[in-house]
Structure 1
Amino acid sequence: MIIMSTKDSAEQIYNAVGGESNINYLTHCVTRLRFRLKDESKVDDAKVKNIAGVMGVNHQNGQYQVIIGNAVSDYYNAVVKLGDFPTDEDASATTANADTKSGNLFDQFANFISSCMSPLIPALIGGGMIKVILILLTTVGWMSDKSQTYTLLSVFGDAPFYFLPIELAITSAKYFKVNTILAVTVAGIMIHPNFTALVTAAKPVHLMGLPVTLATYSSSVIPILMVVWAMKYIEIGIDKVCPASLKSILKPLLEILIVGILALIVIGPIGTYAGKGLSWLILLIQKHAGWLAMALMAAFMPLIVMTGMHWAFSSIFLIASVATPDSLILPAMLAANIAQGAASLAVAVKTKNKQTREVASAASISALLAGVTEPALYGVTLKYRKPLYAAMISGGITGLFMGIVNLKAYAFAVPSVIALPQFIYNGAPKNIVYAVIVAVVSAILSFTLTLILGFNEDAPEAAKDNAQPATTATTSMANIDGGAKDTKKVFAPVAGELINIESVSDPTFAQKMMGDGAAIIPTDDHLYAPFDGTVETVFPTKHAIGLKSKDGVELLIHVGIDTVDLKGAHFTAHVNQGATVKQGDLLLDADLDAIKADGYDTTTMLVVTNTKDFVDVVPNEVTTVDKNAVALYVI
C-alpha cells in the first residue's frame, strides 16, 4: 500500500513538472527531489504542494526542489522509471552547462561571475584591508610612504589585485572544466614583465606579423574570463584532431600557442574594450541617477545579502575597473552594515531576555566592527522584522545623502567602523568626512528607529510550548536542564554558534518542513555523534547523516546549504549505515574552508524528523556549543 502510494505520488510529481519533455535532469539530496527544468514557469507550485507526500517546493540555484523528507530516495527511484532523462549518475557532466543556461541573461552572467569571483573574495578583502591600514598609517604620520616597509606592505596589499588574471584563470578553469595549469600559463603570458615592458614602451608590436593591441592585463577581469571560455572550445577541437599517441606532447604545445596568440591579438583586446564599456555604463548611471541608485542599494542591501548577491554585485563592479573608486556597492554596504549593527545594538539594549541580549550584542559587534552582518540579519533583525525595517529606512536615507555627495571607496574592504580609512583620499579630503557622517547618522537613525518601532519579542524559544499553558511551559523549562522526566538530550555534533533554525537561509529548514530543531554555525571540521544510538542513513554525498537515539529521537544532521551539489567533495564519512555509535564518536569530517571557498554556506542543521512523536523540541539557551554541550532538549 505504501509502495503504491509512493508510486502514485511520484507519477503526479512527474506530470506536474512537465514530464520528460521539461526535465533537463533530476538528482536528489537527503530531503528533496532536485529538478533542473527547461521552463519552471510551466509548473504550478500550488498543485505540486497538494500532492500526497510533498512537504513544499523551493526555487533555488536554478533548481526546482520538491521537498519530500526521509523517503526522498523512494520517490526519486519511482520518478526515474517514468521517463528517459539524465539523473544524478551523469548530472555532474551537465551541471555546469545547466547552470549557465538557467535564468535570464543577468542571472546567468551574475552566476558565472559569482562562481569565478567568490573564491577570490578573502584574498581581495585581505589585500584591501592592508591598503586601508597603510592609508591610515600614512595619514596620521606614523609611516612614510617613502619607506621600504611601506613599499613592501604595498606589495602585500596590491598582489591579490595585480595577479587577478592568474587567480581567475584557476577559478574559471574549474568552472569551464579546462586544464587549470594551462589556463594559468596563458594568464602568465598576459601579465609577463617582458610583455608589460612592450606595452609601457608604447611602440607598435607584432606577433608573427599580426598586430598586438597594447593593453595592460594586470588587475583585469574580463579578458582572462573570455580567454578561458574560448579555451574550453579550443581544447575540444585539439582533442578531436590530435592523435592519441602524441596528445601528451602536442596538446599542451598547441593549446599554449593557439590560446596565447588569440589572447594577445583578439580575445584580450575585446575583453579590455568590454571592461571599458562596462565601466563607462556604470559611471553614466552613477552620474545621472547615482542618488537614486545609491539610496535603493543601501536600503535593500540586507535583502541582497540574504540572496548572497552582494558579492556578485561587488564582482560585477570590480570587473568594470579595479583601479576605479567604487561609488556604489561599498558605500551602500557601509550604510547598511552600520545600520544592521546599530539595530542589533538597540535590540540588545531594549530586550529583557538574556539570550536575546547576548545574541544581539555579539551580532552588533560583528556588523559594526567587522562588517559581517549575517549574524545580525538572521539572528536579530530579520527575526523581529521591525529592526530590519529600521535598518532599511536608515540605509535608504543615508544612501540618498551618499548619492548626492558621490561618496567613493578607494580600497576594497568590507565596510565597517574599522575599515573607514578606505574612504580616505588626498585628492578628495571631504570624502572621509562624508563617510564618517554616513556612519554616525546611519547608526543613530537605525538605533533610534528600532527603539521607536520596537519589536514583538515572543517568549524565549526555550519557554515556548504550544501544547501547554504559558505557566506550565515556563515551569517545565525552568527544570528541564535539571533532568525533567522523559526529557531526551541531543548534544551538539560540532563546535560553533548555536542559532534558531528559523534564522537559516534555507526555507525548507527555516519553516520546519522536516521537523523542529536548531542550527549551528560550525567552527570545527569534525562532527561527532550527539547521542548513543544507530546510524540510519549516510547520504552518498556525505553531507548529511540520519541517526536514531536509543530513546527514539530521529535526528538529521545536514552540513551546509545546498552542499549536496558538491557530490561528496570536502566530506569524509567515518561511519556506515547500521553502525552503532556512542555520544562523542566521530561521524564525519567536513573541510569548512574548502566548502566556503566553493561558495557554500556551512550552517549545519539539526532536525528532529519525528518531531510529531514528542511534545516539544527546545534549543538550549547557550550561544556557543561543543560536543560536550547540549544543543536540543526533546520532551
Structure 2
Amino acid sequence: MGKYEQLARDILKEVGGKENINSLTHCITRLRFKLKDESKANDDNLKNMPGVVTVMHSAGQYQVVIGNHVPAVYADVCEIAGINAGGAADEEEEAPKGVFNKLIDIISGCFSPILGPMCAAGIIKGLNALLNFLLGASYATSGTYMVLNAIGDAVFYFMPVMLGYSSAKKFKLNPVTGMLIGAALCYPTIQADALKAAGKAVGSLGILGSYYKTFAGIPWIAANYTSTVVPVLVVTALAGKIQKLAKKLVPEMLQNFFVPFFVLLISLPVGFLIIGPIVSLATNALSTGFTSLFKMSPVVGGALVGFFWQILVIFGLHWALVPLAMINITTLGYDNVLASSFAVSFAQTAALFAMFLKMKDENRKALALPAVVSGICGVTEPSIYGFTLPEKKPFIISCIGGAIGAAFTAVMNAPTYIMGGLGVFGIVNYISPKGDAHGMYIQLIGIAIAMVISFVLTYILWSDHSEEKTAETKAPEKASGPESIVSPVAGKVINLKELKDAAFAEGALGTGLGILPTDGHFYAPVNGTVTTLFPTLHAIGITSDSGVEVLIHIGLDTVQLEGKGFTAHVKQGDHVTVGQPLVDVDLDAVKKAGYETQTPVVITNTRDLLDVLPVGEGNVTAGDEIIKIIN
C-alpha cells in the first residue's frame, strides 16, 4: 500500500463504498468514477477533505480532483477496493469491435490472471530440468525431483481448472462453476478411458486419440482434456450465456442452487458431445499447420515470428500464439513457435543499452537503466514505449536482430519444453525433460547473435539529438528575475473563470488563464522538461528550467477521446525549448465528438511562487507572452 492509503480509504467511503463503483479510471489530475448511484456520494465531505481539491459531475462521471499525484492515489484506491488498475469493478465491459479483436480480448482476459503463477510453475519445472541435467539420472528418481515436478506440473495438468476460474470472471459466470467445468474436463475416469482407447478411434477421428461412448443414447467421444486450453474457454463462454438466461427464468429464492444446476447440466454435456471434439479437431489442425511451416522452412517461420513479435506485443496480438504454444507442448511435448520469440527481448534490451551508452541527458539515462534491467528479465514494455519505439530506428533494428536470432534457433532446432519464466529466467525452458541441454546452448547462441546485431547497429546508426537541444537551452537552476510564459497556441485569451470546468475556473489547480485555440498546433511555452504527458495526449505538464510547473490541458473532458485526433511530437522526459512543437490536435474532431476546445494554461505550483500574473489579452499567436512569473 502506498503513502495515500488513508486518503484512498476516505475517498472510497465518501463515494458510497466499493459496492457503489462501476468503474474507475484517472486522468492527469482527477479520479474518474462511474458510480451506480451518485446520490450516495457526499460532495461536501469530499470537497473539505485534505488532499482533495474539489468534486465535479461531468461526462457521466463523478470526478474527484486530486492534483498531479493522482496516479499514486488511484493505485491505493484500486488496491483497497479490489479493482484491477485501469479496469472495472463489476460493470459490463464494452466489447471490442471486430471478431479478431474480440478473440484477442478474450484470450488475454482469460490468461492474464494466471500468467504469474503459470510462469512461476514453469521456472520450477526449469529448475528441476537443470538439476536433472547437472546431477544425472539418479536425480530423476529422487523424492526431490518428484515434489518439484508435482509443483511445476500441477498448473499445466489442471490447466482447464485454472482457465475455468479466470474465464468465468471474463464471461460473467460464477467462478466456482467455471472451476467445476474445468475439473469435469479433467475427471480421471474420462481421461483414463480416453488414454486406454488411444489408437482405437475410427477414421479421421484418430487425431483425437479417442473413441465413441454414449450419453443418454447419444454417441460422443471420450477425449483427454487435461492440459488443454481452448475447450474450457468455449464451454465456459456457453455456460455464461446459460447462467444469464437461467437467472431470468429461475425464481430468485431458488437461484443459489438451480442456476448452477442448469448451467452444469446443459453446458458440460454439450461440451463433451459437441464442443470438445470440434475444438480439438480445429486446434490440432492449427497446430499441425504451424508445425508444418517450421518443418518446411525453419528460417521463414523463425524469422517471421522473431521480426513481428514486438509488434504483436504492442497491439496485444501475441496472446493469439500463447494457446497455440500450449497446445503444441501438450500434444507434441515441445513448441517451436514461442521458442522463436525468445531471443527477441534480448535484442530489444541490447538496442536500449546501446542508446544508454550514447545518451548525454542524465535524466534519460537514469530512466533507461532500469528499463535495461527489466528487459533482461523478459519485460520489454518500458524499453519499447519509453525509448526504442519513439525513436523508431532502434526499434526497427531490434526487430531485425530478433528475426536473425530467431531464424538461427529455428534452423538449429531449439524448441521449448516448458511454458516458464521470461528473459534470463526462461533459459532453462530449453532443457528437455530427459536433461538434454542442446536447445539451451542453441538459444544462448541465438541470444548472442540477436544482441550483437541490435547493439552494434543501434550504436552506429542512432544519434541522440536531444543532446543538442539540451546544450542549447541549458539554463540556470533558478531564475533571478521575472519569467515569461508564452502562449502554446494561437487563439483568444479568456479569463480562467469563464472556463466550463469548475476545478480550473475556481483556480483549484493553479492560477492562469484559458485559450480558445484557432488552430491545432501546440508549442512549448517555456524552456523545460516534459514531466507529464498523459497517454491520451490531452494534457501536458512542463517544468521550466527555473522550476515553474506549467499545465496545458487541451480541451475539457478530452481524456474521453483516448488520444483520437491527437499527435505527439515529444515524449515524457524530453527537454524542450520555447516554440518547439508539442502536440497537434484535430480541433474539428474534438468539437464533432461534443467536447469543448477551451484550453486551460495554469501554473500548478502557484503557491511556491511570489506571484503569477496573467497578462495575455484578446487574440494571441503562439509565442506571445500570456503569464508573467515573479520568483
| Bucket of the pairwise TM-score, normalised by the shorter protein | 0.5 to 0.7
Query: What secondary structure does 1:267 align onto?
Result: helix
Secondary structure in 2 aligned to 1:516? strand
Instruction: Give the Å deviation of 1:243.
Output: 4.6
Contact 1:113 / 1:316 at 8 angstroms: preserved in 2? no
User: Offset at 1:453?
Assistant: 1.0
Provide the rounded CA distance (Å) in 1 between the counterparts of 2:560 and 2:324: 25
Question: Partners in 1 of 2:148 and 2:630 — Cα distance?
Answer: 54
In the TM superposition, what is the alpha-carbon distance from 1:224 to its structure 2 partner? 0.8
Deviates more, 1:262-271 or 1:241-250: 241-250
Assess, with a 3 A threshold, how the Cα gap between structure 1 residues 415 and 332 changes in structure 2: closer, same or farther.
farther
1-structure distance, mates of 2:401, 2:483 = 48
Contact 1:346 1:450 in 2 (8 A): yes
> CA separation of 1:266/1:484 partners in 2, compared to 1, >3 Å: closer, same or farther?
farther
Equivalent residues of 1:275, 1:321 under 8 A apart:
no
- Give the superposition deviation at 1:139: 0.9
Equivalenced residue count is: 435
Residue correspondence of structure 1 range 545-556 to structure 2 within 5 A? none
SS in 2 for 1:408: coil
Alignment of 1:106-505 (within 5 A): 106-141=100-135, 144-202=139-197, 205-239=213-247, 241-244=249-252, 246-319=254-327, 322-324=330-332, 327-368=335-376, 370-425=377-432, 426=434, 430-459=438-467, 473-477=473-477, 479=478
Shift of 1:30: 5.2
Distance, in Å, in 1 between the alignment partners of 2:127 and 2:329 is 22
Question: 1:115, 1:634 → 2: CA distance?
Answer: 52
Looking at structure 2, the residues matched to 634 and 352 of structure 1 have their Cα atoms a distance apart, in angstroms, of 32
Letter of the structure 1 residue corresponding to residue 416 of structure 2: A
Q: TM-score, normalised by structure 2?
A: 0.59
The one-letter code matched in structure 2 to 1:400 is A
Q: Does residue 536 of structure 2 align to residue 508 of structure 1?
A: yes
Per-residue deviation at 1:153?
0.8
Question: Which consecutive residues of structure 1, in runs of 5 or more, have no partner in the other structure?
Answer: 1-26, 35-69, 78-89, 465-469, 491-499, 519-550, 557-561, 566-608, 617-632
Q: 1:209 Cα deviation (Å)?
A: 3.9
Q: Distance in 2 between matches of 1:563 and 1:132?
A: 45
**Alpha-carbon separation, structure 1, partners of 2:259 and 2:282:** 30
Structure 2 stretches of 5 or more lacking a match? Answer: 1-23, 33-53, 62-87, 198-210, 486-508, 510-528, 554-558, 563-598, 607-628
One-letter identity of the residue aligned with 1:516: G
How far apart are residue 285 of structure 1 and its match? 2.9
Q: Given residue 269 of structure 1, which amino acid in structure 2 is its aligned partner?
A: P
Which is higher, the Rg of structure 1 or of structure 2?
2
Report the residue type matching 1:515 in the other structure: I
- What is the TM-score with the length of structure 1 in the denominator? 0.59
Letter in 2 for 1:187: G
**What are the superposed Cα offsets for residues 320-361 of structure 1, whole Å, 9 maximum, x if unpaired?**
554545655433332211111212222233334433333333
Query: C-alpha separation between the residues in 2 aligned to 1:166 and 1:321?
Result: 18
Deviation at 1:299, TM superposition (A): 1.9
Q: CA RMSD in A?
A: 4.4
Query: Aligned in 2, Cα 1:507/1:216: closer, same or farther, shift over 3 Å?
Result: same
Tell me the distance in 1 between the aligned counterparts of 2:55 and 2:552: 14
Tell me by how many angstroms 1:109 deviates. Answer: 1.8
Superimposed CA distance per residue, residues 524-571 of structure 1 (whole angstroms, 9 cap, x where no aligned partner): xxxxxxxxxxxxxxxxxxxxxxxxxxx997699xxxxx9999xxxxxx
Measure the CA separation in 1 of the matches of 2:300 and 2:100: 21
Amino acid at match of 2:93: T
SS in 2 for 1:372: coil
The SS at the match of 1:145 is helix
Shift of the 357–250 alpha-carbon distance from structure 1 to 2, 3 Å rule, reads closer
Q: Distance in 1 between matches of 2:531 and 2:343?
A: 26
Distance 1:110 1:257, change over 3 A: same
Matching residue's letter, 1:173: A
Secondary structure class of the residue paired with 1:250: helix
Identical counterparts, % of pairs: 26
